[in-house]
Amino acid sequence: MIQDWNNRFSENIREYGGYSIGKLFALLKDPEIISLAGGLPSPDMFLIHEMRLVSGRVLEEDIEKVMQYTPIKGEKVLLDAIVRFLDRDNIRVTDENIVVTSSGQHGLDLTGRLFLNPGDIVLLDRPTFAGAIVAFQMQRPEFAGVDIDEDGSNVEGFRAKIESLGKDNKKPKFIYVVPDFQNPSGITMSLKKRLSLLDLSREYGIPILEDSPYRDFRYRGETISSIYALDQESGGGNVIGLYTFSKLFCPGLRVGFNIGPPEVIEAMTNIKEGNILNTPKYNQDMCAAFLTEMGMEEHILKCRKYYGEKLEVFLKTMEKCFPEEMGVTWTKPEGGLFLWVTVPEQIDTHELFYEAIKYKVAFVPGDVFFGENPKRNTMRINFSFASKEQLATAAGRLAECIRSQLSLSG
Ligand SMILES: Cc1ncc(COP(=O)(O)O)c(C=O)c1O
């Protein structure tokens, strides 16, 4: 019997621990715990009736095709619907610019596999999406992070990093950003910064990976052009866009898409061929129907109102529960599903997580959102899943828990 399995694993995977927050979620089984941890859209926003209708029709009319292998790049009906979906956001693409993925996480995986050798550098915000970190980690890159500003990536900080890496003959392979209502901070990148980031990308020849799951979830303020659209306005070719239907429609179907220059998309499609072959046709058909016949624009307006109200309730409760003297601060997002909380430095939110469970409330400790050198006094809060009443109760519980930790640490 083979005993030393771990030594036989590939070097890329031997030290790989997967998604550490998934393991924390396993501790949240007690139904009395109000979890602000996951990034789940609310089932209240699921288009259940529409889904049943379309599903019945597809299974009735197309069952043989649904049960068969299908094209790797994606279903034509979905590709066409994506072209129109992006057109409404001033992004002009054709089929050769799109590969359908089995969700955003798969899109990140394809990007990591395509660009990264062990030791290559990814430039990113601090904090940034933990799922991107774990997807890229499979190729064992190094992360160079710069603290994010209130108006998005610190582009001058990125420039300084690129220049200091250049002194050692190193250059980042790409810059990863979530410009709209970033997961985990809720921060949105200003137009000025988007333009400067593009300038930086052009100046140094470093592509930008723009991850946009929350773009339509704006509750206040004006929509800002995507970096992809801005790039196209002046020639294009510097940006790869990453999208998922998980938040806008539903995460269960696991469908998304990547867009970019044909060469990149072709290479990603080849990787997909060796990796999952096709994304299930049924799932793609449901997403195509979402884009074309389930009242998407109305659905987006409904989501904006629903999540926007929850965010407002949560922000108001935070004001009440955390008086200034507690030294707790948080972001005030204009959209998305998350906000970012910073607690006094003496508190380690990993330890606080276990304490908070006793107070029947949960969040994600912030350290998982850093590619390197984590800030341990931070946490991500999700406000989309819990009800408004639960959100208010949860903020109260969190305040009580933090207060008790502060009095313990004197
Ligand atoms: C910024 C970002 N990118 C990608 C993903 C992954 O999306 P999916 O659930 O479709 O794999 C998420 C999910 O939370 C996300 O927040």
Ligand 1 mean position to 131 CA, how many Å?
A: 7
Domain ranges of the chain: 5-47+298-408, 67-296
Which residue out of 106, 111, 177, 183 has the highest number of ligand 1 atoms within 8 Å of its CB and is therefore the one to mutate? 183
Ligand 1 mean position to 361 CA, how many Å?
A: 23
Q: Which atom of ligand 1 is nearest to the CA of 212?
A: 1
pLDDT band at 235; cut points 50, 70, 90: very high
Q: Once rounded to an integer, what is the mean pLDDT over residues 322-328?
A: 96
Q: What's the pLDDT score for residue 381?
A: 98
Ligand 1 mean position to 108 CA, how many Å?
A: 9
> Using one digit for the tens of pLDDT, what is the confidence trace for 5-30?
999 999 999 989 888 777 788 889 99
Does residue 283 surpass a pLDDT of 80? Answer: yes
Which residue out of 214, 246, 248, 254 has the highest number of ligand 1 atoms within 8 Å of its CB and is therefore the one to mutate? 246
Ligand 1 mean position to 64 CA, how many Å?
A: 31
Q: Which atom of ligand 1 is nearest to the CA of 103?
A: 10
Ligand 1 mean position to 104 CA, how many Å?
A: 5
Ligand 1 mean position to 400 CA, how many Å?
A: 31
pLDDT band at 247; cut points 50, 70, 90: very high
Which residue in this structure is represented by tokens 């197309």? 62
Does residue 410 surpass a pLDDT of 70? Answer: no
What is the DSSP pairing of strand 121-126 with strand 174-177?
Answer: parallel
Q: Once rounded to an integer, what is the mean pLDDT over residues 103-122?
A: 98
Closest CA to 228 of 182, 186, 179, 262: 179
Ligand 1 mean position to 168 CA, how many Å?
A: 33
As a whole number, the mean pLDDT across the chain is 96
Closest CA to 188 of 383, 334, 382: 334
Which residue out of 129, 258, 287, 382 has the highest number of ligand 1 atoms within 8 Å of its CB and is therefore the one to mutate? 129
> Using one digit for the tens of pLDDT, what is the confidence trace for 129-149?
999 999 999 999 999 999 999
Question: Ligand 1: which residues within 6 Å by Cβ?
Answer: 39, 103-105, 129, 131, 178, 183, 211, 213, 244, 246, 251, 256
Q: Which atom of ligand 1 is nearest to the CA of 108?
A: 4
Ligand 1 mean position to 165 CA, how many Å?
A: 29
Query: How many angstroms separate the CA atoms of 242 and 239, rounded?
Result: 10
The sign one gets for the Cα dihedral 56, 62, 64, 69 is negative
Check if 5-47+298-408 and 67-296 are the same fold.
no
3-state secondary structure of 299: helix
DSSP character string of 304-355: HHHHHHHHHHHHHHHHHHS-GGG--EE---SBSSEEEEE--TT--HHHHHHH
> Using one digit for the tens of pLDDT, what is the confidence trace for 69-87?
999 999 999 999 999 999 9
Query: How many angstroms separate the CA atoms of 292 and 93, rounded?
Result: 17
Ligand 1 mean position to 205 CA, how many Å?
A: 26
Query: How many angstroms separate the CA atoms of 72 and 127, rounded?
Result: 34
> Using one digit for the tens of pLDDT, what is the confidence trace for 375-402?
999 999 999 999 999 999 999 999 999 9
Q: What's the pLDDT score for residue 104?
A: 98
Kindly report the CATH class assigned to 67-296.
alpha beta
Rg (CA), the chain: 21
Q: Once rounded to an integer, what is the mean pLDDT over residues 36-53?
A: 96
- % of the chain surpassing 70 pLDDT: 100
Does residue 43 surpass a pLDDT of 90? Answer: yes
Q: Once rounded to an integer, what is the mean pLDDT over residues 300-316?
A: 97
| Minimal-distance CA residue to ligand 1 atom 5 | 104
Q: Which atom of ligand 1 is nearest to the CA of 254?
A: 10
Does residue 171 surpass a pLDDT of 70? Answer: yes
Q: Which atom of ligand 1 is nearest to the CA of 337?
A: 16
Kindly report the CATH class assigned to 5-47+298-408.
alpha beta
DSSP 145: E
